[in-house]
Amino acid sequence: MDQQIIKWTDKIIYWSFVLIVFLVPIIFLNNITLSFELPKSSLFRMLTIVIWIGLLIKLLIKKNISLSIPSKFTQISLAGFMITAILATIYSISPHLSFFGSYERQQGLLQLFFYISFFTATIIFFSTNKEKIFSLIKVACYSAALISIIAILQKIFPQLTATIWHTEDLLGRVQGTLGQPNFLGSYLIILVPFFIAQFFLHETNKHKLIQVILLTFVITAIILSGSRAAILALTGELIIFSLYWNKKIFAGLAGIIIISSIILLPRFTFENENLRAVKTRLITWQTTIHQIAEKPFLGYGQETFRESFKKFQPKEIFLYEKFGTELDRAHNEILDTTAEIGLVGLIFYLIFYLNIIKAGFLNKKNILILAASSSLIGLFIANMFGFSTTTHRIFFWLLAGIIIALTQKIKNFKIKIDRTITVILIMILVFFAFKTAINQGVADYYYRQSINSSMEMRDFEAIDYIQKATKTNPYQN
> pLDDT per residue over 290-312, tens digit each?
999 999 999 999 999 989 988 88
Taking Cα atoms as reference points, which of 431, 440, 443 lies closest to residue 49? 431
Across 71-95, average pLDDT: 95
Across 223-238, average pLDDT: 88
Taking Cα atoms as reference points, which of 126, 55, 46 lies closest to residue 400? 126
pLDDT in tens, 333-373: 999 999 999 999 999 999 999 999 999 888 877 899 999 99
Q: Is the pLDDT assigned to residue 256 strictly greater than 90?
A: no
Distances (CA, A) of 194 to 33, 111, 149, 182: 34, 27, 18, 20
Instruction: Report pLDDT for 314.
Output: 84
Instruction: Report pLDDT for 254.
Output: 62
Question: If pLDDT is split at 50, 70 and 90, which confidence band does 155 have?
Answer: confident
Q: Is the pLDDT assigned to residue 172 strictly greater than 80?
A: no
Instruction: Report pLDDT for 317.
Output: 77
**Residue 210: Cβ-neighbour burial (10 angstroms; 0-12, 13-18, 19+):** middle
Instruction: Report pLDDT for 268.
Output: 57
Q: Is the pLDDT assigned to residue 166 strictly greater than 90?
A: no
CB 64 within 8 A of CB 87: no
Query: Could you please report the per-residue DSSP string of 196-250?
Result: HHHHHH--SHHHHHHHHHHHHHHHHHHHHHT-HHHHHHHHHHHHHHHHHH-GGGH
Question: If pLDDT is split at 50, 70 and 90, which confidence band does 456 have?
Answer: confident
Across 76-91, average pLDDT: 96
Within 8 A by CB and 6+ apart from 409, the residues are 68, 69
Query: What percent of the chain clears pLDDT 90, i.e. is strictly above it?
Result: 47
Within 8 A by CB and 6+ apart from 202, the residues are 208, 211
**Lowest-confidence segment of 14-23, 83-92, 143-152, 431-440 by average pLDDT:** 431-440
Secondary structure of 348-408 as H, E, C letters: HHHHHHHHHHHHHHCCCCCHHHHHHHHHHHHHHHHCCCCCCCHHHHHHHHHHHHHHHHHHC
Taking the C-alpha atoms of residue 473 and residue 442, their distance in angstroms, rounded to an integer, is 8
Decide: helix, strand or coil at residue 410.
strand
Q: Is the pLDDT assigned to residue 396 strictly greater than 90?
A: yes
Q: Is the pLDDT assigned to residue 421 strictly greater than 90?
A: no
pLDDT in tens, 232-241: 899 888 888 8
Rg (CA), the chain: 23
**Burial per residue of 261-298, b for 16 or more beta-carbon CB atoms within 10 angstroms, e otherwise:** beebeebeeeeeeeeebebbbebbeebbeebbeebeeb
Residue 441 has phi, psi (to 5 degrees) of -65, -40
Instruction: Report pLDDT for 91.
Output: 95
Across 31-55, average pLDDT: 89
Q: Is the dihedral of CA 174, 179, 183, 188 positive or negative?
A: negative
Q: Is the pLDDT assigned to residue 325 strictly greater than 80?
A: no
Q: Is the pLDDT assigned to residue 248 strictly greater than 70?
A: no
pLDDT in tens, 188-219: 999 999 999 998 888 788 889 999 999 999 99
Instruction: Report pLDDT for 453.
Output: 84
Across 117-136, average pLDDT: 93
Query: What percent of the chain clears pLDDT 70, i.e. is strictly above it?
Result: 90
User: What's the gap between Cα 266 and its chain centre?
Assistant: 28
Instruction: Report pLDDT for 163.
Output: 62
pTM of the model: 0.92
Across 417-427, average pLDDT: 75
At residue 97, what is the residue type? Answer: L
More reliable by pLDDT, 465 or 21:
21
Q: Is the pLDDT assigned to residue 468 strictly greater than 60?
A: yes
More reliable by pLDDT, 435 or 455:
455
